[in-house]
Amino acid sequence: MPARNAPMWALGYHQCKWSYYPESNFRAIGTGFRERQIPCDALYLDIDYMDGYRCFTWSPTHFPDPKTMVRELAADGFKTIVIIDPGIKIDPNYSVYTEGLANDYFCRRADGPLMRGSVWPGLCNFPDFTRPDVREWWAGLFKGLIQEDGVRGVWNDMNEPAVFEKGTFPDDVRFNYDGNPASHKKAHNIYGMQMARATAAGVKQFTYPNRPFTITRSTYAGGQRYSSAWTGDNIASWDHLWLANIQCQRLSISGFSFVGSDVGGFVETPDGELYARWIALAAFHPFFRTHSSGDHGDQEPWSFGEEVTDLARKFISLRYQLLPYVYTTFWQYVKQGTPMLRPLAFLDQTDTDTYLRMAEFSLGDHLLVCPITTAGADGRWMYLPKGQWYYWWTDEARTGGAEVWASANLDRIPLFVKAGAVIPLYPVMQYVGEKVVEEVTLHVYYKNGTEHSVLYDDGGEGYGYQEGHATTRRFTVIGTDATLTLRQEIEGDYTPSFATYRVVFHGLPFAPLKGTVDTKAAPLTEAATETDAMLPETVVKAGFAEIVIK
């Protein structure tokens, strides 16, 4: 189930375009990220990497030595993701076509002939992914790309299925439907999911012992078992930025949390302001990818001038710092079924003022986000659920149950932290695994009362977690008028790379005089924040049981 055991790097930043080619241009994109110190984990190849758009092939002109290219990009931290569509070119010299034809794997019309439709390669036949033997055959086709060439993930597109003549298949196309023959009227909605299912099986088989990663444009209820997704070909407009926020929330509460939108818009070109606002929102979506049609201009994070480059670096870097929090939220989704993105009504169902709010959402248990989706804005009004909240950028305390104004120029997105939260941060990395994480920073937000947080860790790769090699750290914050207590309980036998925590305390209503860790005195120092305020901090062993600040 690839979407539900995704590697941590899949939650990093991804860059895509229709299309990066030839090889020199593709490599230059990777160089652009590393030279500018903008974190990135995955680079995508659209249809032009293929030989005449034939799936499972490489263009000998554009990519003459793909194995070497993929290996050298991997050495610099990049995972190569390739697109695969369902249309198989009708070509007697193309082995995928001849295998499918010889084994009768392709869909047929009601009166017997093979279903033929035009897509990127020209006239194509289409596998019947509702047949188990076809799915098994399809999975095996990935050996070359994944096991031999080193590709780390697959992107399924055009799998509604899309054809140029009429949009999709005629209604009379027949499907096996897992032994229950049906027409396209019945099978249309599951075709894309069954393709993603077959793709996921192949990627999982040939990428082992690493975890698989797949993405699909078309899916169905239950498809979250097989793939992540994005919201499809959108437009570079403020309306579609607003829509991306709504779509991702609603997909998340429908069971499909591992989702995002094409940052900046696929069709047309955003200006720098729109791109900056979009990347700020997408930094809080589970799937985080810029993608564009490419025929209207470049859409890399550095394509809009130095100011926007700096802003993109800032928000992408923040995402990498938040990876332990995002990964924990992903684990909660897998383990408990809780949406990663939660509309306000999910935060407090007793508060009727949350029912009709659409812009605001939480990522996980403790971060509340409200994107700015209009041009020229320097902030926005938003609703805070009942309770106490802290503005991420300034530590200003706010009382919920009311609308509040959140100031947010282009360098900020309205972002609040629930009082009592413990937010773990990694150091900034250019890609997951670039650095050995020796210390995790815990940002602890004061609450007069009790709040619980969790940090899950299994290394972010491999299958050790299936044997119980994972650790769950449960934090409890207990605040009074004069003290703040942080307790930790550790479950599991996984030993992470970090041995210490740097603990930063926010919002204390008293001037701290002393601290203890497991009843022993601990020194308190001061940490500078973005606004130059000084906050108390301490460094402790990662296995502590209780910290008390007085």
Q: Which residues are catalytic?
A: 157, 160, 233
Q: Which two tokens stand for residue 19?
A: 């299309």
| Neighbouring-strand partners of residue 444 | 422, 505
User: How many CA atoms does the CB half-sphere of 5 hold within 13 Å?
Assistant: 19
Are 93 and 102 in contact, with CB atoms under 8 Å apart? no
Q: Which two tokens stand for residue 89?
A: 């070119």
Q: Using alpha carbons only, what angle is made at residue 413 by residues 421 and 280, rounded to the nearest 5 degrees?
A: 105
Q: Which two tokens stand for residue 464?
A: 């050790």
Question: Going edge to edge, which strands form the sheet with 153-156?
Answer: 259-260, 228-230, 214-216, 153-156, 79-84, 42-45, 13-15, 288-290, 262-263
Buried b / exposed e over 457-471, threshold 16 CB at 10 Å, is bbbbbeeebeeeebb
Separation between Cα atoms, residue 20 and residue 43, nearest integer Å: 9
Identify the residue whose tokens are 């790769």: 461
Provide φ and ψ at 160, rounded to 5°: -70, -35
Are 186 and 206 in contact, with CB atoms under 8 Å apart? no
Do you find a cis peptide bond into 127, omega within 30 degrees of 0?
Answer: no
User: How many CA atoms does the CB half-sphere of 230 hold within 13 Å?
Assistant: 23
Q: Using alpha carbons only, what angle is made at residue 417 by residues 411 and 418, rounded to the nearest 5 degrees?
A: 165
Task: Please give the C-alpha separations between residue 336 and each of 4, 262, 330, 366, in angstroms, as whole numbers.
Answer: 12, 28, 10, 17
Task: Please give the C-alpha separations between residue 333 and each of 278, 342, 378, 424, 461, in angstroms, as whole numbers.
Answer: 24, 11, 34, 18, 17
Cα dihedral: 253, 254, 257, 258 (round 10): -160
Identify the residue whose tokens are 């938003």: 382
Question: What is the three-class DSSP state of 310?
Answer: helix
Question: Inter-axis angle of helices 323-336 and 306-321, to 10 degrees?
Answer: 50
